[in-house]
Amino acid sequence: MRLFVNILFSIILVFARLLRLPQDRICQWFIQINNRLVLTSISSGLKEEHLLLLIPHCLQNYDCEFKITARVKNCRRCGKCIIKDLIDLSEKRHIRLSVAPGGTLARAIIKEYQPGLIIAVGCERELESGINDVYPLPVIGILNQRPEGPCKNTTLDMDRVEEVMRTIRLKAEGEVS
């Protein structure tokens, strides 16, 4: 079913480009459908340590001097950006957290960690291409927020991340169908 949606979406996207339709809206639709399918397919037994939370570099405060791409824990947790909250969450829930500045590094991280499920954060186009790139690996996409425009000082609705984590946990424990 996910493969069918991916192929259908690729065709729709070609037409959307030709007709100059708003591609972000179409990507949002694709991400929503993908997320539903992935959540539905989670089997019991998936452990939180098998999750990989993959985030873009633009979530980091633009003026921060600490380099977090190679090692996210270089963050000093000053709270000026959402990276602090994400590290807190990853420690609380025992999930892997990695910063991927681009598709090549993201693929290397995925190869190294071999996650059972990826929770990826990004903009519409990044998530759309990332979900298709790593298929059949399941990816749940969460859109970032861009109060200063794209690629700089972006942020994230942590309630949404917690909600996704809760749903995954309940599904893995077999408490929701």
Of the candidates 161, 54, 68, the residue with the CA atom closest to the CA atom of residue 110: 54
Give the nearest distance from C-beta 153 to ligand SF4 in angstroms. 10
The yes or no reply on residue 77 touching ligand SF4 (CB under 6 A) is: yes
CA distance 167 to 171: 6
Dihedral of the CA atoms 97, 101, 107, 108 (nearest 10)?
-80
**Identity of the residue, 6 or 60, whose beta carbon is nearer to ligand SF4 in the bound complex:** 60
Chain centre to alpha carbon of residue 118 = 7
Please identify, among the stretches 30-38, 58-66, 108-116, 154-162, the one whose residues bind ligand SF4 according to the rule CB under 6 A.
58-66
Q: Which two tokens stand for residue 151?
A: 């690629």
* Cα within 13 Å of Cα(169), Cβ side: 11
Nearer to ligand SF4 by Cβ, of 27 and 58: the residue is 58
* 88-147 positions binding ligand SF4, by CB under 6 A: none
The reply on whether position 83 binds ligand SF4 by CB under 6 A is yes
Nearer to ligand SF4 by Cβ, of 22 and 101: the residue is 101
Q: Is 66 in the site for ligand SF4 (CB under 6 A)?
A: yes
Q: What is the rounded distance in angstroms from the CA atom of residue 46 to the CA atom of residue 44? A: 6
Binding status of residue 61 toward ligand SF4 by CB under 6 A: yes
Assess 68 for contact with ligand SF4 (CB under 6 A).
Answer: yes
27, 51, 81, 86: which one binds ligand SF4 (CB under 6 A): 81
Residue carrying the six token digits 């059949």: 136
* Cβ-Cβ contacts under 8 Å for 2 (sequence gap 6 or more): 34, 37, 38, 41, 135, 136
Q: What are phi and psi of 99, to 5 degrees?
A: -100, 125
Instruction: Give the shortest CB-47-to-ligand SF4 separation in angstroms.
Output: 27
* Minimum CB distance to ligand SF4, residue 83 (Å): 4
* Minimum separation from the CB atom of position 141 to ligand SF4 (A): 22
Residues forming contacts to ligand SF4 in the complex (CB under 6 A) are 60-61, 64, 66, 68, 75-81, 83-84
